[in-house]
Amino acid sequence: MILSRNKNLLFFVLWCLIFQTTLLSQEPVSVERSNNKVIIEGTVYYIHVVKPGQTLYSIARAYNVSQKEIAIENPGVMSGLQLGQALKIPVEPTIEQELDTSTAPPAGRVHVVQQGESLYGIARLYGLEQGVLMGANRGVDQSNLQPGMRLVIPERKKDDQEPAYNEEGIAFHKVKRRETLYSISRFYGISVQEIRVANPELGWGGPKSGQVIRIPLPQVTDHPGTVLDTIPADSVKWVEADTLFEEYGYEELKYAHDDPGRIYRIAFFIPFDFKVPEPLDSLIKDVKSASRRNRIIERYRMEEKNPQSVNYLEFFQGSLMAIDSLQRTGMKMDLRFFDTGKSMDQTLALLMDEDLEDFDLFIGPFYPFNLEIVSAFANKYRIPVVTPFYNEPERVRNNPYLFQLSPSIETEYREAAKLVASKHMYNIVYVRDEDSLNIEKHDFFKEQIFDGFEHYHPNEPVIFKEVVQKLDHTDEIIHSLSKDKKNLVIVPTRDEALASRVVSTLYFQLKDYDIEVMGSPFWPEFKSIELRYFHDLKLIFYSSFWVDYLDPGIDRFMRAYRAFYYNEPTATTRKGINYGIIGYDMTFYFANALRLQGRRFIVSLRDYHPTLVQAPYHFNRVNGMGGYENDHLTFYQYAPDMSIKMIEVPPLPERDLFFKPREDEDTRRFLYREGDLE
């Protein structure tokens, strides 16, 4: 691909294509019931993604529930639905007596298409690739699939050793007293990891008595399935390249990069998804509440001012700058840019292009449901794929070719716990909200903090207090402060209302107490809190991608971006990740790695340190059979002089103490005594 200096023409053509796709997608569609079920807090739901033309009434009719039931589970829907919005639709699951343990039907059968089925789901039902199913039924694709249509199911190849899973092969198990994930996994003959992947709401904890969990039932195959790796991430050590080739399946990387003139093929999966917005009058027509009308108007104006598609356009522009830099080094590239939208079907259709099987690198996609599809495709054809914002651990644990740019919450908490542990002499106050969905995450964070205390030798008991904060009640947080010690108040939340309440309360206690606050990566993006409060409370936050506009490297990038596009990249995520900057850094890092090492860069990252606009990437493999996570975090602190400074997290000392907690009525005091070495 040769980049023309006439960028305006390039973007005009791009926007025309996006606009044309939008116009074609505005036709009314019927409501089809989703086949996907999830479990949240022990309750089973369908997840329905709102499509153009659908209303709350039509969705309620399709699922045979009342509009009120949907509104209870999805607060705010009565004021209007949003395109692409995911709705929780309650459903009564079949428990134990009606488990679906059916195996794949015998080869050569004819399948009668049912309402709501897709080609992708039917192919998975019979353990086939979608392309194989379409090849056996010429002229059939997702666009013309109709209920009642008869599809020929071809016989599977004998050498197909991949385990197949029935789309409907899910058992719902109600957890009994004293049952554990291990005992449940033994009963069903699957691994603990498979249960965790099927039940992401379990977090880091185990199931609770009475909770309903999903049990994936593997179909019978001619060959044993792959054994899932359960080695903890922190137990995996770096091994030499030859060992990686043999043990981890990188056979295709054994040979050194020796073709500097090769044309590298890179595909970008970007959800531009531009849509003409619905008129504001129609959005607020039937809304009687003034406060709801104001919220709808505010959201509408924000989207009108900065459409979501513009964010991805800035990512695209940053990527083009990186490509331009690499082309000037002589690197030859065959580039493809695909618009995945917010659609699984659209993404599946893109992957039907057999030409993609020979690509060297995939960049994107951005949404989790699209990533699932592209990651599986990339894993099958051994193509490195990098995702920018997704930070859950499930995908990267099972795909050795997946690179996750955003650190997981577990990684963030492990690093933040080290900083907290180093302040063991403080009066430590841990503030959380009442949301029970986050209890496991809070427990994990506190566990990491307590483990960190073990590495230090305090002269007196470590004081740790936990406050469950209510928005209308702040007395407890004031009573938890100490006048005799420095106070570290930890508030690991993304909720701006909660953060504002805590900060406002603490700010007016500074005359009597010495206070520092630790927040989360979301805090610098909060707009309703006075910056003076952050600085005087010496707020600590951590991030992998925070933009310091006083940094010379950021300034150079902004000037170069202005020279290209006559504006600056301003779109950011809720964590403050700048789309334009990450588009440049991500594209340059991986495309340049291809230029230097070819696909072998996967096993050469230890010695690869290119200069990026923002902080460097530090990829570590998450387990013996998985992919790579960027675990680089930087800690910053607001100072009373109105500056923001980078701070170092001290390494944990060697642990040589015995740790034992003791609780009293109001305060947890964690005592240490010498001896009892590990």
Instruction: Give the pLDDT confidence of 285-343 residue by residue, as tens digits.
Output: 777 777 777 777 776 666 665 566 678 889 999 999 999 999 999 999 999 999 888 88
For residue 37, what are its two tokens?
């079920």
- What residue has token string 């949907």? 70
In this prediction, residue 118 has a pLDDT band, given cuts at 50, 70 and 90, of confident
Strand 332-339 relative to strand 263-270, pairing: parallel
In this structure, are residues 231 and 622 in contact, taking their beta carbons and an 8 Å threshold?
no
The full DSSP string for 288-322 is --HHHHHHHHHHHHHHHHS-HHHHHHHHHHHHHHH
> In angstroms, rounded to a whole number, what is the distance separating the alpha carbons of residues 302 and 482?
43
pLDDT for the residue 656: 55
> In angstroms, rounded to a whole number, what is the distance separating the alpha carbons of residues 317 and 3?
12
In this structure, are residues 541 and 499 in contact, taking their beta carbons and an 8 Å threshold?
no
Residue 104 pLDDT more than 70? no
Among the listed ranges 80-94, 221-235, 338-352, 471-485, which one has the minimum average pLDDT value? 221-235
Q: Is 404 exposed, middle or buried (0-12, 13-18, 19+ CB in 10 A)?
A: buried
> In angstroms, rounded to a whole number, what is the distance separating the alpha carbons of residues 179 and 197?
18
Backbone φ and ψ for 587, nearest 5 degrees, come out as -65, -45
Q: Regarding the domain delimited by 410-543+648-674, which CATH topology (the fold level of the hierarchy) does it fall under?
A: Rossmann fold (3.40.50)
- What residue has token string 């991949």? 162
Of the two residues 414 and 194, the one the predictor is more confident about is 414
> In angstroms, rounded to a whole number, what is the distance separating the alpha carbons of residues 18 and 36?
29
| Alpha helices, H only, 88-198 | 119-125, 130-136, 181-188, 192-198
Of the two residues 381 and 25, the one the predictor is more confident about is 381
> What number of other Cβ atoms are within 10 A of residue 363's Cβ?
24
Residue ranges per domain, the chain?
A: 37-90, 105-163, 252-276+310-407+551-633, 410-543+648-674
* Average pLDDT for 267-279: 75
Task: Tell me, yes or no, if the two domains 252-276+310-407+551-633 and 410-543+648-674 fold the same way.
Answer: yes
- What residue has token string 């990249």? 569
pLDDT for the residue 676: 33
C-alpha count within 13 angstroms, C-beta hemisphere, residue 357: 7
Mean pLDDT (the chain) is 76
Provide the b/e sequence for 334-345 (b: ≥16 CB within 10 Å): ebbbbbbbbbbe
pLDDT for the residue 218: 55
Q: What is the pLDDT of residues 175-189, one digit of tens each?
A: 876 677 766 776 676
Q: What is the pLDDT of residues 343-370, one digit of tens each?
A: 888 889 899 888 898 899 999 898 888 8
Residue 28 pLDDT more than 60? no
pLDDT for the residue 259: 65
Q: What is the pLDDT of residues 524-535, one digit of tens each?
A: 999 889 999 999
| DSSP count for the chain of H helices, then E strands | 20, 23
- What residue has token string 């990740």? 577
Among the listed ranges 194-208, 425-439, 595-609, 616-630, which one has the minimum average pLDDT value? 194-208
CA 411, 416, 419, 425 torsion-angle sign:
negative
Residue 23 pLDDT more than 80? no
pLDDT for the residue 19: 39
Q: Regarding the domain delimited by 37-90, which CATH topology (the fold level of the hierarchy) does it fall under?
A: Membrane-bound Lytic Murein Transglycosylase D; Chain A (3.10.350)
The full DSSP string for 600-622 is GGGG-GGG-----SSSPP-EEES
Residue 210 pLDDT more than 50? yes
> In angstroms, rounded to a whole number, what is the distance separating the alpha carbons of residues 499 and 633?
22
pLDDT for the residue 186: 65
Q: How far is CA 591 from the centre of its chain?
A: 23
Of the two residues 278 and 264, the one the predictor is more confident about is 264
pLDDT for the residue 189: 67
Does domain 105-163 fall under CATH 3.10.350.10? My reply is yes
Between the alpha carbon of residue 101 and those of residues 37, 155, 193, 215, 222, the distances in Å are 17, 21, 19, 10, 17
pLDDT for the residue 518: 97
Residue 635 makes CB contacts below 8 A (sequence gap 6+) with 415, 419, 540, 541, 542, 646, 647, 648, 649
| Alpha helices, H only, 204-289 | 241-247, 280-284
Strand 86-90 relative to strand 515-518, pairing: unpaired
Which DSSP letter does residue 470 get? B
* Average pLDDT for 206-234: 51
- What residue has token string 């930890």? 490
* Average pLDDT for 225-232: 30
Of the two residues 335 and 436, the one the predictor is more confident about is 335
pLDDT for the residue 521: 93
* Average pLDDT for 610-635: 90
> In angstroms, rounded to a whole number, what is the distance separating the alpha carbons of residues 579 and 319?
10
Residues in the chain: 678
For residue 270, what are its two tokens?
């970007």
Which pairs count as long-range contacts for 560-568, CB under 8 Å and 24+ apart, including other chains?
560/321, 561/317, 561/318, 561/321, 564/7, 564/317, 564/320, 564/321, 565/7, 565/317
For residue 166, what are its two tokens?
């029935």
Residue 579 pLDDT more than 70? yes
> What number of other Cβ atoms are within 10 A of residue 75's Cβ?
8
Residue 207 pLDDT more than 90? no
Residue 561 pLDDT more than 90? yes
In this structure, are residues 365 and 378 in contact, taking their beta carbons and an 8 Å threshold?
no
Greatest mean pLDDT among 250-254, 454-458, 595-599 lies in 595-599
> In angstroms, rounded to a whole number, what is the distance separating the alpha carbons of residues 624 and 230?
8
pLDDT for the residue 255: 61
For residue 294, what are its two tokens?
């104001």
Between the alpha carbon of residue 19 and those of residues 272, 280, 302, 363, 607, the distances in Å are 10, 20, 20, 23, 44
SS (H, E, C) 342-386: CCHHHHHHHCCCHHHHHCCEEECCCCHHHHHHHHHHHHHCCCCEE
Q: Regarding the domain delimited by 252-276+310-407+551-633, which CATH topology (the fold level of the hierarchy) does it fall under?
A: Rossmann fold (3.40.50)
In this prediction, residue 606 has a pLDDT band, given cuts at 50, 70 and 90, of confident
Residue 655: closest CA among 414, 413, 416, 418: 418
First-to-last alpha carbon distance for the chain, in angstroms, is: 59
Residue 236 pLDDT more than 50? no
pLDDT for the residue 252: 67
Which DSSP letter does residue 276 get? P
pLDDT for the residue 8: 46
